[in-house]
């Protein structure tokens, strides 16, 4: 394989456009630290293994949730449902004084859990890996909740896709 000859700016443009056209479930990654809640919207989340049950999230080191999450060593990955669009839209307002004022949030094992989320995974921070601007945080599950009667909030091309009822088996 030869070294790439594509200009870096062009590479980034193509990458951005390509990723915009990948549909992604929207998550709220949250933590509590010293009595305060923190959270961001994220799409860079995935399961890692069933043994041990674990998942990863890629968190920008500049994001407000990053340092509290690392210091607390605990976080929750809330899989947002289509009915949680109001929560997602509120999280996206950078100047919102309290991101947790929309939706019913409760504390489970010390992390903010959205009651109406499709699923919520409370994790202990098991490993962290730095790459570029982000930390890849790996969480081992402490508590999990799931509801069958929800469809995931799905981000696509800077908007939301309605995928309810779209499954075929
Ligand atoms: C749809 C969507 C997906 C996002 N995914 C991620 C992500 O996976 N990781 C991340 O660090 N930030 C992600 N962000 C950006 C964060 O939600 C947040 O806006 C940014 O980190 C600034 O957060 P702060 O104002 O709390 O510092 C995403 C934003 C949107 C709108």
Distance 163 CA to ligand 1 centre (A): 22
Taking CA atoms only, the protein residue closest to ligand 1 atom 20 is 63
Q: Kindly give the number of the ligand 1 atom that is closest to the alpha carbon of 65.
A: 26
pLDDT at 168: 67
> Ligand 1: which of 43, 85, 133 to mutate, most ligand atoms within 8 Å of CB?
43
105: closest CA among 124, 86, 131?
86
Is residue 108 over pLDDT 80?
Answer: yes
Q: How far does residue 109's CA lie from ligand 1's centre (Å)?
A: 24
Residues with beta carbon inside 6 Å of ligand 1? 26, 40-44, 58-60, 63-65, 92, 94, 155
- Show the domains of the chain with their CATH numbers: 25-157 (2.30.110.10)
Task: Please give the backbone phi and psi of residue 80, each rounded to the nearest 5 degrees, phi first.
Answer: -75, 140
Is the pLDDT confidence value at 165 over 90? no
Mean pLDDT over all residues of the chain?
Answer: 95
- The per-residue pLDDT for 2 is 56
Q: Which atom of ligand 1 is nearest to the CA of 26?
A: 1
Q: Which atom of ligand 1 is nearest to the CA of 57?
A: 8
Q: What is the mean pLDDT of residues 91-119?
A: 95
pLDDT digits (tens, 9 = 90+) for 4-27: 678 988 999 999 999 999 999 999
pTM over 0.85: yes
> 9: part of which helix (H) or strand (E)?
helix 8-20
- Answer yes or no: are the C-beta atoms of 78 and 120 closer than 8 Å: yes
Q: What residues have CB less than 8 Å from 106, skipping those under 6 apart?
A: 112, 113, 115
pLDDT band at 169 (very low <50, low <70, confident <90, very high): low
């Amino acid at each position: 394989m030869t070294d790439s000859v594509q200009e870096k700016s062009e590479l980034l443009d193509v990458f951005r456009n390509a990723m915009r056209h990948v549909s992604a479930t929207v998550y709220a990654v949250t933590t509590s630290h010293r009595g305060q809640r923190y959270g961001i919207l994220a799409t860079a989340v995935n399961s890692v293994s069933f043994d041990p049950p674990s998942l990863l999230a890629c968190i920008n080191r500049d994001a407000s949730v990053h340092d509290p999450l690392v210091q607390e060593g605990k976080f929750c990955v809330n899989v947002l449902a289509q009915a949680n669009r109001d929560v997602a839209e509120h999280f996206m307002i950078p100047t919102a004084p309290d991101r947790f004022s929309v939706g019913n949030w409760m504390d489970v094992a010390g992390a903010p859990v959205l009651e109406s989320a499709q699923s919520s995974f409370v994790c202990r921070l098991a490993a962290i890996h730095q790459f570029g601007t982000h930390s890849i945080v790996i969480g081992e599950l402490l508590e999990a909740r799931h509801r069958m009667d929800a469809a995931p909030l799905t981000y696509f091309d800077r908007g939301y896709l309605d995928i309810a009822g779209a499954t075929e088996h």
